[in-house]
Amino acid sequence: MSIKDHLQYLKDTTVKEVDVRSAHQQFADNQSVLIDIREKDEVKSGSPTGAVRISKGLLEMQIENIVLHKQQVVLLLCASGNRSVLSANSLAQMGYENVFSIKGGYKNWKDSGLPFEVPKMLNESDNERYKRHLLIPEIGEEGQMKLLNSKVLVVGAGGIGSPVAWYLAAAGIGTLAIIDDDVVDKTNLQRQILHTNDSVGTSKVLSAKKRLEALNPDINIITYKERLTKENVDHIIGVYDVVLDGTDNFNTRYLINDACVKHKIPNVHGSVFQFEGQVSTFWPSKHENAPCYRCLYPSPPPAELAPSCAEAGVLGVLPGLVGVLCATEAIKIIAGFGELLIGKLLVYNALDWEFDTFEVQKDTQCKYCNSNKNTEYPEYVEYEDTCTL
């Protein structure tokens, strides 16, 4: 059987087709996933606005990361409507029940005046720098572009913020912001890997900026040499896609939580105490039952019960591990793969090599993550500074 006859056979017996206008309407109404399966060189000239772009050869490997369940409507688009028929047949054999090939492909889409865009593409330098990411199906070029187009705020350039910022810069976060009003002290060097002996006495954010730009000069590093307060938190946090909380005091943790809940931004939280580290993601707007930080810790402990950072101490390598876990979570959020720590608290004990994961329940009485458009959002609260867990 010739290829032409085989395609016609699939159209007659197996593969469902849809015209470009119907496909556009379904996609615009958020009733489907639109996947452009053409090769990179073809996509350079344009692609339907908002489409997921995965070449035909990688589609079967990556489909599970794009389509959440096998009943979801999937629209496949190629150049003229032939390759999409073959791919639709392959996905049907994998158990996907509602896969459609778009008749006439991108040529008909563009000729019909439907919206398209010329997507940003990785340049030669990007392909070299992020090659190991591009080889991973869960990230690939699509995920790497998401990282390069993202904006992340790291609160604190200390023990946790240092490895977080270092690995996010290496991963290609396009805009990486750091806020910290402190200066580098010699006691920081035991764990705060962004700073060196030459940095002692200088601003932490400027020390961090210098190191990160040396690591990856192609990204944008923004610094805030100030403390996060209830007066500036909305102005600073509201423009970012993800916020990473690497702070060591409850006052700032609650402030970050409350602002992130208000602005519907994921809050990746990391904390350390002597030999123990904790990591979680608070993102109530993502899921109805997702808790916020206040659901886990409704109120700070009395100041006299929370030892200061200097009194408590911390194993120097521990913030590095916690920071790497936080950076991993941020990359997964932005690139859109894997399971997140929403509603879960990951606890690590360095003394006995134990990793434990605990469920965090949403507090139905929490006035922050249960607020809605009919309820005035609570005002930000300032607490007396207390450190550690």
**Which residues are annotated as catalytic?**
309
Q: How many CB atoms lie within 10 A of CB 34?
A: 24
CB 377 within 8 A of CB 371: yes
Q: Which of 179, 53, 29, 67 is nearest to 106 (CA)?
A: 53
Residue with tokens 């604190």: 156
Supply the DSSP string of 209-230, one letter for each residue: HHHHHHH-TTSEEEEE-S---T
Buried b / exposed e over 119-158, threshold 16 CB at 10 Å, is beebeeebeebbeebbeebbbbbbbbbbbbebbbbbbbbb
As a whole number of angstroms, the distance between CA 304 and CA 322 comes to 26
As a whole number of angstroms, the distance between CA 324 and CA 167 comes to 7
Distances (CA, A) of 252 to 161, 183, 256: 14, 18, 6
As a whole number of angstroms, the distance between CA 63 and CA 51 comes to 14
CA dihedral 23, 28, 34, 36 (to 10 degrees): 90
